[in-house]
A = this chain, B = another copy of it.
Amino acid sequence: MPNGAQALMKTLVDAGIEVCFSNPGTSEMHFVAALDNEPKMRAVLALFEGVATGAADGYARMADKPAATLLHLGSGLGNGLANLHNARKGKVPVVNIVGDHATYHVQYNAQLQSDIETVARNVSPGFVRTSQSTEQLCQDAVEAIAAAKGLPGQVATLILPADVSWGEGGKPCAPLPEPKLLGADDATLKTIAEAIRSGQKTAFLLGGRALREPSLMAAARIAAHNGVKLFAETFPTRMERGAGLPPVERLAYLAELATLQLAEYDNLVLVDSKAPVSFFAYPGKDSYLVPEHCTLHTLATPEQDALTTLNQLTETLGAGSAQPELQAPARPGRPRGKLTAEKVCKALGHIMPENSIVVDEAMTSGLMLNVMTAGAPRHDMLTLTGGAIGQGLPSATGAAIASPERPVYALIGDGTVMYTIQALWTMAREQLNVTTIIFNNASYSILNMELERVGAEEAGEKAKSQLDISGPVTHYAQLAQSMGVHGIRVHTTEELLKAMEYARDTPGPHLIEAIVPESLNGAKRKVLPWLLRSLPNLPRPVTKALKKKIAP
């Protein structure tokens, strides 16, 4: 009879969990040993837990099924918390396995003893369980897996005491049956259909799984049939887009811009998304971004299946045979001249192959990313769902493991890249096809903007130095090389293009460090037109209203 860890490994694999992103310690050694008996389980080692959890997130976004993590006690969970937060906010399934001391060892309050469940509740409000016996372990595991995979997807934390793991008498369990997908009720469908037909202006806010092709096509049929506008939530978990797919405009990060995007709509229909709110609060500015005159409807809660509800609504509206608007192929031209963040985005749109995966953690430097890749060949975009920076490199790592045949581009700001820089090592170890592009502007650029937005305008040198990472300027290409990743620093647009072409044609991980000026390092009069260019569909004229909002 297998021990607990061996039975758990079989249970995981039987439930389709075939990758474990791990950073183990002593209490997880039996789980590690059990890897040898289970050829279907791939273990991917990370040098830091935030890499493991972020990779599990990125993997699940692309594989459409959870991976397992393997973390070491409360401190390991703490290190992995930020990216589990991103997974939680993105409704991404993760089976989060945290090793613990043997049950009888807890009473001694040894060095690494801490309250793991307490920490786990932050990211796993729906499922935290410490398995109490080897016999019970696999039943706990299948329940954790079911909780993770349900709608909405979630982080399910299974705490695994060492003696439960090493104990004899493990009993593998078969996975629980898949739950039935929930649709919308008739009353809701009727109300929303009436609003759409009323002649009022209506927009959909698509989020979560509503940004995948089948849902997008259904929504686009309704849009074509009934003149509905399609928005995507600001930070999509995974958005399928590009040539041949319905074009959907993302709500802007800046509340001032999002408000303008939403201003003209009388009805906003949530489809696996939540009512838009400001990312942060700002003195004297609204947090809630739905206009006062606008009625909010919910077609699909995160507990419901977005596609089912969209199909129901299509039928109600008789939109089934409408021709959806599809994005025409339109790559931007080859960028020339002085290298800027915008030209990096343009180069990506110019070069990236079909079926690329784009991980966007470029912050201010990525403002033009949507515009520049809108007509590029079909691709997926993964974003920073929970706002906890340090998600990009790990997410790209996981996405590349889920989709080894697809090129992955990770666009990362230099203010965020260091949080989980250890991911480069895992990329090298696993020889993943990830091209990381770092925007090196030697600044927490977004915070310079935020410093003004919160009204702390009088900031002096000492305050500003807290947002300045130019002393010293990190050499990211050299840093990548130190971990076995091909790294190059580029200063010109020509160098950038050459490096991107080389990376595209050469398997394995690459890091391109683009030296760019700070995107927002200008007077507001320069920033404003630039922000407007990032939202080409914003109804004109808006400049005056915008100026008032941005700089009242």
Q: Which residues of B contact A34 (CB under 8 A)?
A: 463
| Contact yes or no, A35 B466, CB < 8 A | yes
Whole-angstrom distance from the CB of A382 to the nearest CB of chain B?
A: 15
A74 in complex: contacting residue of B26, B36, B122, B279, CB < 8 Å = B122
Kindly identify, within residues 276 to 306 of chain A, every residue whose CB is under 8 Å from any CB belonging to chain B. 277-281, 283, 287-288
Total interface residues in chain A, CB < 8 Å: 101
| Contact yes or no, B450 A279, CB < 8 A | no
A118 in complex: contacting residue of B48, B121, B469, CB < 8 Å = B121
| Contact yes or no, A33 B458, CB < 8 A | yes
Residue of B nearest to A80 (CB): B78
Interface string of A441-468 (1 = CB under 8 A from B): 0000011001101111011111101110
Interface string of A84-105 (1 = CB under 8 A from B): 0100110000000000011011
Residue of B nearest to A86 (CB): B75
A163: CB under 8 A from chain B?
yes
Q: Which residues of B contact A80 (CB under 8 A)?
A: 78
User: In the bound complex, what is the Cα–Cα distance between A82 and B81 (angstroms)?
Assistant: 11
| Contact yes or no, A82 B75, CB < 8 A | yes
List the one stretch of A134-142, A195-203, A383-391, A490-498 in contact with chain B.
Answer: A383-391
Interface string of A110-123 (1 = CB under 8 A from B): 11101100110111
Q: Which residues of B contact A166 (CB under 8 A)?
A: 283, 454-456
| Contact yes or no, B36 A463, CB < 8 A | yes
| Contact yes or no, A281 B101, CB < 8 A | yes
Do A451 and B33 form a contact, CB below 8 Å, given A26-B280, A425-B474, A474-B483? yes
A312: CB under 8 A from chain B?
no
| Contact yes or no, A425 B418, CB < 8 A | yes
A15: CB under 8 A from chain B?
no
| Contact yes or no, A447 B111, CB < 8 A | no
User: In the bound complex, what is the Cα–Cα distance between A418 and B105 (angstroms)?
Assistant: 29
Whole-angstrom distance from the CB of A278 to the nearest CB of chain B?
A: 7
Kindly identify, within residues 458 to 515 of chain A, every residue whose CB is under 8 Å from any CB belonging to chain B. 458-463, 465-467, 469, 471-476, 478-479, 481-484
Q: Can you give 13 contacting A-B residue pairs, CB < 8 Å?
A: A26-B446, A32-B467, A33-B451, A33-B463, A43-B462, A75-B85, A78-B80, A89-B111, A102-B280, A112-B280, A162-B281, A474-B482, A478-B481
Chain A residues with a Cβ under 8 A of chain B: 22, 24-27, 29-30, 32-36, 43, 45, 47-48, 50, 74-76, 78-82, 85, 88-89, 101-102, 104-105, 108-112, 114-115, 118-119, 121-123, 125, 162-163, 166, 235, 274, 277-281, 283, 287-288, 384-388, 390, 418-419, 421-422, 425, 428-429, 446-447, 450-451, 453-456, 458-463, 465-467, 469, 471-476, 478-479, 481-484
